[in-house]
Structure 1
Amino acid sequence: MSLAEEFYKNNIEKNSKESNALSSKVNVIGWSRLVVVLLCALVDYFLYKQNKIMMIVVVTIVITGFFLILMFYHNNIFEYKKRIDLLININEKGLKRLGGEFKKFKDNGSEYLDDEHSFINDLDVFGNNSIFQYINSTVTKGGREELVKLLKREKVLVSNEIKERQEAIRELGEKAVWRQKIIVEGNLKKSQDIHLDSLIKWSEGKESSSPLRLAIACTFMLATIFSIYLAIKGIVPLSFIILDLMVNFLVVKILAKSMAKEIELFDSIKSSVYGYSKILCLIEDEKFESLYLKTLISKLKSNKVSCKYEMKKFSDILDWAGNSSYNAFYLILNIVLFSDVFLMRSLEKWREKNGDKLEDWLKVMHEIDALNSIANLSFENETWTYPVILNENEIEGINIGHPLLGKKSVRNKFSLRGEKKVSLITGSNMSGKSTFLRTLGVNLVLSYIGAPVCADKFSCGIMNIYTCMRTKDNLEESISSFYAEILRIKILIEASKKGEKIFFLLDEIFKGTNSKDRHTGAIVLIKQLIQYGGVGLVSTHDLELCDLERENKSIINYNFREFYENDKIKFDYILRNGKSETQNAIHLMKLAGIEI
């Protein structure tokens, strides 16, 4: 049993026991609250029969106080149980990743699939059974977007940045308990997190409350306090206070129109900000050793301003936002003290102090959130290695496996270094050619985001990945699969001509045309890619292409083979040097019932 599996199982067992105990406690307290309410009603009724009005007031106040204590305790226990249940779910998802069941996770990033991207569709970066579905455990919208950008290579990292990220991910991988705390806080009061841009825009604003609005609020608030004083003294009747509050209600409604957009925004984001404040507190309080993480955390403290303190203050202020729409107590408070106006002023004061820092704080949180997801790979795969990043356009590995296949993955040794620039991969149908191309591609994607890879040793240069593997017809654009393949090849050639560092993966190129054209086209393409400095792999059934190895020192042959047991075809998926010497198409036709 791996350390990760043991960790997850132990946590599930421990937290399940605690959750069951808390369930019993929640039920007991819930019934106790009901008993207290019934007891209060019975006692009050008994005292009412005896005409002990003062005793009714005293007993009601005492029992109500006890009820509020029970309610507060019940809510705390319930929230704590929710945290424990979230931890159980997190560890169960960890076990599913280890068992290859991650394809059941709902969030697979399928909205990012893109036929025009240079590699994401062919390498299963997004969609079902994808890299994203495997590693993603982000809890913020920004963290999810940061992870997407890394996987799509929208953020291209240089060698030093990758090495620094490797150190950070290695360190985060060792902080499994801390990472799970962040996931819990991010999910405890989960909101849709759809107004983040609006929050940033507000934080950058400079406008402040109208002095007239504050003056009106202060005037009517003082008038209400004075009216209450006069009523207590008996100078004015009690009805005068009711009239005053009715006037205040109208004034509150009028003033609320000028603050409606802000109040609506704050009401929609307060759950998110609560989670942000908790997460940023965990981040700021944690001690890190890697340079990359230390640099990130340093952005949370500037000019003696503590991010965790200011974000908690922000969350506490926002906790009141929008309460007047559903909270009777706050509605009364608003009518008497014009709390919305002063709430808005408090938020503006917070913005004056911290508005210019908020976006940077959130960026730190989002990056840590994305790195924590990648750190799942480090924690759960002890035998994986961190790749060596080279300056040359090369790739080499020992015992390289496909990261998404888990224990089913067959490991292979591969090298494309020095004068060798193109590898021709031959082999019979279903022997493993396409899977091996994806194996290298997926491990390169992981290498470039600073993650460990599925290999004992792995080294590579930083290259732009181009693939042509799953071309298909597009009826809306009147494009055949062959023409779609041509268009992708065109993009590859244009990129190589521009001087890009290219790594290409071409699976059965030009398969949509006749054998003569396919052979000729493949030879010309391979030579042209070599000419412009491209590096990569080409899988093919055209064994004559393998003769290029003798003509050009830049080309090397590899192959996969099949074997037979009891008239059944079998594959070992082991990569061998040289060209393929076996074929299985006729045998497969016979198995299908075609008489030959």
Structure 2
Amino acid sequence: MNRALKYYEEEISKNEDKIKDLNKIINIISIIRLGIVLAVIAAVYYFFKIENVVLLILSIVIGLAIFLIVAIFHNKKIRDRKETKLIISINSKGIDRINGNFKKVEDKGEEFLDEKHPFTSDLDIFGRNSLFQMINSTKTKFGREKLSEIISLKEIPRKEEIVKRQEAIKELGEKVKWRQEIEVKSTLKKSGLKDINKLLEWANSERKINSLFKIIPYFFIALTIISIVLVTIKILPITYLILVFMINYLVVKVLTKDLSEVISLFDSHKKDIEAYSNILELIDKEDFKSELLISLKNKLRNNDTNVIKEMKRLKSLVDWLGDSSANGYYLILNVTLLSDIFILRNLEEWRKLNGDKLKEWLEVMGEIEALASISNLAFDFESWCYPKIYDEDILEVKDLAHPMLGEKAVSNSFNLNSRNGVSRKVALITGSNMSGKSTFLRTIGVNLLLSYIGAPVCAKEFSCSIFSIYTCMRTKDNLEESISSFYAEILRIKILIEAAKRGEKVFFLLDEIFKGTNSRDRHEGAMVLINQLVKNGAMGLVSTHDLELCDLEKTKEWIKNYNFQEYYEGNKIKFDYTLREGRSKTQNAVHLMKLAGIEFNEK
């Protein structure tokens, strides 16, 4: 059994038993809490009847103390149950990932879809049944956006960067408990995917602390203490103390006139800040071995700043702000000690000390979270291999399959290279409808992408050089811009040609090119395009129904023909999805039309 599958199943079983035990404990404590309440009510009633005020008050105090202790323990067990359920959910998702059942995951990353991107739409990187949907385990906005940047190849990595990322992903793949703990801690606090730009704007803005903040609070606190003493020894009436409290309240409101805006800001991000603090603490405490992870962790220790201490301090200040807007006892504290002024002052001091570092801390957190998502592949698919990256133009694969098809995936071997005196630049893929041409192109493209992001690939062996991937596969009409599917295809081809001409090392995947025009123009256009791309140093695959293109192999040593075939059992068409050398010798269009009910009358 796959070690990851075994691990996930064992974790689910173990935590399901834990939930049963927790449910029993929680139910017992609920009964105890009810018993305490009833006992206190009975005691209060009894002592009230016998007019024993001392014991009445004492019973309330003792009963409340016991109730609070039991309630704290009760809430802890409820949190434990919630955390345990999350662990079960995380491990269940791992099983779905292995079995190819990840399509029910709600977060598809659809907002990252971009039809103008060189390859993401054609290769199913975002959206339904996508790579993002399969691997994403990020729970913060920073992690999610960093993952989207990585898997869309916002920047083409160098060989050294790929190797470093491979090491990091291998290491994180083995830290499965630690990765799951990050998911749990961030999910429990509901660290959201909401926009936190306003929080970062606050952190990077400059606002001088009013000098009155440093003097006036102490004056009024002293006045309040003196007033309390004088009222206690009955030199002043209690109405004087009430007047002092009213003055203090006005002073607080005047000096913290912007506090409501700050409260609103932090109230919307309170759980985010706690989640970020938890994740950063987990990162800070973890011992990393790979160079990339060590360098990322070191960014959290710049200028001798204790990131964990500072994030906890920010969380504590935010907690106080929450209390100020919601709790009655805080009002007493505020009019006595002018606490809002000190909180606002402390927030300004925190911003002055750490504001310019906050974004970098969160970006480090996001990058590690994104790498942890990619490392799901490293742990889940132990039979996959890590690619070898070469400087020369090469693509050699053994037993390569589509990483998102699960058990349905069929593996094939394939190569394009410049070895043994022969320079293979283009593979022409022919075959009947539904035989597997398009899927094979996507299999090559997605695994190339996995190679560049440092992930293992769905193959026994995989060697490649670093290319810029360009695809033209799913062109469609755009009614809003009055663009036909054929013209949309032309625009995609234009982007590809321009990239090759400006010196990019292009790897292209073209599926049924120029299908929107007549056969003569399609054949001539495809032949000229392929020649032009090769002339500009590009490599790639082209699928086509135009069998005449296969004649290029006779005159161009850099092109090689491959095909997929179908076979029949009774009246049913079957496919083995096996790649074979040479041009296709079968076709199934007429047979499929007959199955649809179209009658071909012989003449």
Where 1:88 maps in the other structure, the secondary structure is helix
1:390 maps to a residue whose letter is Y
CA deviation after TM superposition for structure 1 residue 571, in Å: 0.6
Contact 1:397 1:415 in 2 (8 A): yes
Residues 355-364 or 512-521, more deviating:
355-364
Name stretches of at least 5 consecutive residues in structure 1 with no aligned partner: none
Residues 1:431 and 2:463 are matched in the alignment: no
How far apart in 1 are the matches of 2:410 and 2:195? 45
For the aligned residue pairs, the C-alpha RMSD in angstroms reads 1.6
Question: Aligned partners of 1:65 and 1:109: how far apart in 2?
Answer: 49
- Structure 1 distance, partners of 2:235, 2:56, is 30
In the aligned structure 2, how far is the partner of 1:558 from the partner of 1:414? 9
CA–CA distance in structure 2, aligned partners of residues 563 and 248 of structure 1 = 89
**1:96-151 Cα shifts (integer Å, max 9, x gaps):** 21222211111001111111111111100100000000000001100100000111
Contact kept, 8 Å, 1:323 with 1:331, in 2: the verdict is no
Runs of 4+ in 1 over 4 A off after TM superposition: none
C-alpha distance in structure 2 between counterparts of 1:396 and 1:309, whole Å: 50
Structure 2 counterpart of 1:443: 447
- Superposed, 1:397-412 pairs within 5 Å as 397-412=397-412
CA distance in 2, matches of 1:26, 1:248: 45
7-16 or 244-253: which moved more?
244-253
Compute the displacement of 1:485 (Å).
0.7
CA distance in 2, matches of 1:579, 1:133: 36
Contact in 2 for aligned 1:86/1:184 (Cα 8 Å): yes
Q: Please give the alpha-carbon distance, in whole angstroms, between the structure 2 residues aligned to 1:523 and 1:416.
A: 19
Structure 1 Cα separation of the partners of residues 567 and 163 of structure 2: 42
Query: Higher mean Cα deviation, 59-68 or 362-371?
Result: 59-68
Instruction: Provide the C-alpha distance between the structure 1 equivalents of 2:268 and 2:216, rounded to a whole number of angstroms.
Output: 27
Question: Is 1:40 matched up with 2:40?
Answer: yes
Contact 1:224 1:241 in 2 (8 A): yes
Measure how far apart 1:221 and its partner are: 2.5
- Is residue 2:32 matched to residue 1:28? no
Per-residue CA deviation, residues 10-31 of structure 1 (Å, 9 max, x unaligned), is 1111111112221222232233
Tell me what 1:301 maps to: 301
Match for residue 552 of structure 1? 556
Which residue of structure 1 aligns with residue 457 of structure 2? 453
Mapped to 2, the partners of 1:24 and 1:228 lie a distance apart of 51
**Residue 391 of structure 1: aligned partner:** 391
Deviation, structure 1 residue 264: 2.2
Superposition deviation, residue 237 in structure 1: 2.5
Give the match for residue 570 of structure 1: 574
Q: 1:197 to 1:30 in 2, by over 3 A?
A: same
1:185 match: 185
CA distance in 2, matches of 1:217, 1:195: 35
Cα deviations across residues 254-303 of structure 1 (Å, max 9, x unaligned)?
A: 33323332232222222111111111111111111111111111222234
1:30-66: per-residue Cα shift (whole Å, max 9, x none)? 3322322222222122112211112222222222211
Q: Using the alignment, how far apart are the partners of 2:71 and 2:243 within structure 1?
A: 35
- Structure 2 CA distance for aligned equivalents of residues 213 and 349 of structure 1: 12
**1:76 equivalent in structure 2:** 76
1:531 maps to what in 2? Answer: 535
Residue aligned with 2:258, SS = helix
Secondary structure at the residue paired with 2:213? helix
Aligned-residue offset at 1:69: 1.2
1:232 to partner: Cα distance: 1.3
2:259 aligned counterpart, secondary structure: helix
Indicate the residue corresponding to 1:587 in structure 2.
Answer: 591
| Aligned match of 2:339 | 339
Separation in 2 of the partners of 1:199 and 1:310? 16
Could you tell which deviates more after superposition, 251-260 or 5-14? 251-260
Structure 2 length-normalised TM: 0.96
The amino acid that maps onto 2:105 is F
Distance 1:476 1:195 in 2: 29
Distance 1:208 1:67, change over 3 A: farther
- 1:512-562 CA-to-partner distances (Å, cap 9, x unmatched) read 111111111111111111111111010001111001011111111111011
User: What residue number does 2:256 align with?
Assistant: 256
Report the CA distance between 1:246 and its aligned residue: 2.9
The aligned residue for residue 276 of structure 1 is 276
Stretch deviating more after TM superposition (70-79 or 352-361): 352-361
Corresponding residue of 1:164: 164
In 2, the alpha carbon distance for the partners of 1:287 and 1:445 equals 29
> Is the 2:141–2:195 contact (alpha carbons within 8 Å) kept by the matching residues of 1?
no
Instruction: Indicate if the aligned counterparts of 1:209 and 1:344 stay in contact, CA closer than 8 A.
Output: no
Determine helix, strand or coil for the equivalent of 2:257: helix
Q: How far apart in 2 are the matches of 1:187 and 1:354?
A: 25
What percentage of residue pairs aligned between the two structures are identical?
53
The Cα offsets for residues 219-265 of structure 1, whole Å up to 9 and x where unpaired, read as 33222222221221112223333333233333333333233322322
**Superposed CA offset, 1:439-482 (max 9, x none):** 00111111111111110111111111111111111111111111
Query: Which of 495, 517, 520 is equivalent to 1:513?
Result: 517
TM-score, structure 1 normalization: 0.97
Which deviates the most, 68-77 or 282-291? 68-77
The answer (yes or no) to whether the contact 1:107–1:133 under 8 Å persists in 2 is yes
Aligned 8 A contact 2:140 2:191 in 1: no
| Residue 415 of structure 1: aligned partner | 415
User: Which AA in structure 2 matches 1:485?
Assistant: E
1:389-411: CA deviation from partner (whole Å, max 9, x where unpaired):
11123211000100110110000
3-state SS of 1:202 partner: helix
Corresponding residue number in structure 2 for 1:487: 491
User: Equivalent residue of 1:321, what SS?
Assistant: helix
Distance 2:218 2:225 in 1: 11
Counterparts of 2:538 and 2:244, CA distance in 1: 81
Question: What is residue 120 of structure 2 aligned with on the other side?
Answer: 120
1:351 aligns with 2:362: no
Q: Give the direction of change, closer, same or farther, for the CA distance of 1:31–1:208 in structure 2 (3 Å limit).
A: farther
Once residues 194 and 221 of structure 2 are traced to their aligned partners in structure 1, the CA distance between those partners, rounded to angstroms, is 36
Judge conservation of contact 2:140–2:192 (CA < 8 Å) in 1: no
3-state SS, counterpart of residue 415 of structure 1 = strand
Structure 2 counterpart of 1:90: 90
Task: Evaluate the alpha carbon distance shift between residue 330 and residue 393 of structure 1 in structure 2; reply closer, same or farther with a 3 A threshold.
Answer: farther
User: Contact 1:427 / 1:580 at 8 angstroms: preserved in 2?
Assistant: yes
The corresponding residue for 1:59 is: 59
Deviations 1:333-383 (A, max 9, x none): 222211111112222333343334322222211111000000001110111
CA displacement 1:411-435 (0-9 Å, x = unmatched): 0001011111111000011110000
**Partners of 2:483 and 2:302 in 1: CA distance:** 56
Q: Aligned letter for 2:462? A: F
Given that 1:195 and 1:268 are in contact with CA atoms closer than 8 Å, whether structure 2 keeps it comes out as no
Aligned equivalents of 1:538, 1:91: Cα separation in 2: 40
Q: Determine if contact 2:553/2:561 at 8 Å carries over to the other structure.
A: yes
Tell me the residue number matched to 2:50. 50
Distance 2:575 2:214 in 1: 79
Unaligned runs of 5+ in 2: none
Q: Say which SS state the counterpart of residue 557 (structure 2) adopts.
A: coil
Give the distance between the partners of 1:226 and 1:88, measured in 2 at CA.
58
Q: CA offset at residue 195 of structure 1?
A: 5.0
For 1:549 and 1:459, how far apart are their aligned partners in 2?
A: 24
Are the aligned partners of 2:387 and 2:464 in contact in 1 as well (CA < 8 Å)?
Answer: yes
Structure 1 counterpart SS, 2:194: coil
- Closer, same or farther in 2 for the Cα pair 1:34/1:155, shift >3 Å? farther
Indicate conservation of the 8 Å contact 2:213/2:345, yes or no. Answer: no
* Of 586-595 and 468-477, the range deviating more from structure 2: 586-595
Q: Helix, strand or coil for the counterpart of 1:429?
A: coil
